[in-house]
Amino acid sequence: MTPSTTTSAPITPLKPTHQRVAQHLVDGLTTQDITTRTGLSPHTVRQYLRDIRVSVHCPPRCKPHVLVHRLLATEQVAPPTTDRATPELNAEKRLLLKAVAELSFPRDIALAAKIAPADLRSALDGLLDETGAADVTQLVVLAHAWHLLGTKPTGTVESGAVQ
């Protein structure tokens, strides 16, 4: 099984309401936080997130950090900024960063980053410590702000996730 397959379908621009929800997601808000902040029902927020996933070709089961990466890579939301200095990451850590941004499942991330699955957690903890990110979603956002991740999508989505 390969971790990704190619799609050539164009990215569908987000409607303004979807764009606002997407921006909240990039800002680190959870579904519940978005519901509270916007006054939208939980059902509506979940539906908007499904619509957003379809628009940027994310599988239904992709993790929030992967969706955030796709939103930023396809320029569907405002690019982030940060005052934090760009960290000097070696080739292995850049590979891990790219894998985390593009893949949802730990085994796939470990394989793409060329590390043993048993070592993924410690490698990821080290990357979070080095970048000062609180979690993987914030790591992806910061990586885009630092221009460590490309601004255009790679044209891949995870295989086996679309049913």
- Residue 154: what pLDDT? 44
Per-residue tokens: 104: 């949802």
The listed CATH number (3.30.70, 1.10.10, 1.20.950, 1.10.287) that belongs to domain 91-156: 1.10.10
**54-95: per-residue pLDDT in tens?**
999 999 889 999 999 999 999 999 888 899 999 999 999 999
Task: Record the pTM.
Answer: 0.84
Distant-in-sequence contacts of 49-52, Cβ < 8 A, 24+ apart: 49/21, 49/25, 51/18, 52/14, 52/18, 52/21, 52/22, 52/25, 52/76
**96-121: per-residue pLDDT in tens?**
999 999 999 999 999 999 999 999 99
Per-domain boundaries in the chain: 15-73, 91-156
Residue 159 has pLDDT above 50, yes or no: no
Is the fold of 15-73 the same as that of 91-156? Answer: yes
Q: How far apart are CA 72 and CA 77, in angstroms?
A: 6
The listed CATH number (1.10.1740, 1.10.3470, 1.10.10, 3.30.160) that belongs to domain 15-73: 1.10.10
**127-152: per-residue pLDDT in tens?**
999 999 999 999 999 999 999 997 55
Q: How far apart are CA 58 and CA 68, in angstroms?
A: 10
